[in-house]
Amino acid sequence: MKGFLSRWGPALVLMAVIFAASATPGEDLPNAGDWDTVFKKGGHLLGYALLGVAYLRGLAGSRTCSATPSWAWPTCAASPGAVAPP
């Protein structure tokens, strides 16, 4: 169970944060004027990008980093017991 939580815990936490933020009514959110769209779209981009990295970390499981594709290196480097790239 500890291995499961260490791999999938960040993704579960991010999913809970996204769920809680999605439940907030639009009128309760602060308005940043002209920058409002940039902040909201940027927040979505950042949140879902982090969720994608967390999913990659969970999917990597016990696979060693030497067998990981180059696009997944940030995830591999953040995992416990990471190995240097070949």
Q: What is the 3-state secondary structure (H, E, C) of 43-64?
A: HHHHHHHHHHHHHHHHHHCCCC
Is the per-residue pLDDT at 23 higher than 80?
yes
* Each residue's pLDDT tens digit, 40-77: 888 889 989 999 989 988 888 756 555 555 555 565 55
Mean pLDDT of the chain: 78
Instruction: Say what the pLDDT of residue 15 is.
Output: 93
Instruction: Say what the pLDDT of residue 84 is.
Output: 47
Q: Which helix (H) or strand (E) holds 18?
A: helix 2-22
